[in-house]
Amino acid sequence: VKEQLSELRASKAEAEKYRYTIDTEDIAAWKQVAGNIVVPEENYFTADLKKLVERLSTGNLTVEAFTQEANRYFEMVYQERGE
């Protein structure tokens, strides 16, 4: 339990470093496209993305690494679908 608490504190400290990396322009850009994003249900694809988001939110993945991984993942999905 002590080790787990230490890991959680370290994770929180890491996440705190990125707390203010998103500014009002980023939020406005997100709001502009967010209405077009629809995921009807959890499936194979959303499960992998959920893992990436979880890693980002816990500080185990940087924003840059998240973007790279997400882009790689979407490219793979598009190729599998023949797009």
Q: What is the pLDDT of residues 10-22, one digit of tens each?
A: 999 988 888 888 8
- Say what the pLDDT of residue 39 is: 63
- How many CA atoms does the CB half-sphere of 35 hold within 13 Å? 4
Report the candidate in 20, 26, 17, 6 with the shortest Cα–Cα distance to residue 67: 26
Q: How confident is the model at residue 23 (pLDDT cuts 50, 70, 90)?
A: confident
Question: For residues 83 and 77, what is the distance between their CA atoms, to the nearest angstrom?
Answer: 9
- For the chain, domain boundaries: 2-81
pLDDT at position 9 over 90: yes
pTM: 0.46
Q: What is the pLDDT of residues 51-78, one digit of tens each?
A: 999 999 999 999 999 999 999 988 988 8
Tokens of 42: 């959890």
Percent over 90 (pLDDT), the chain: 34
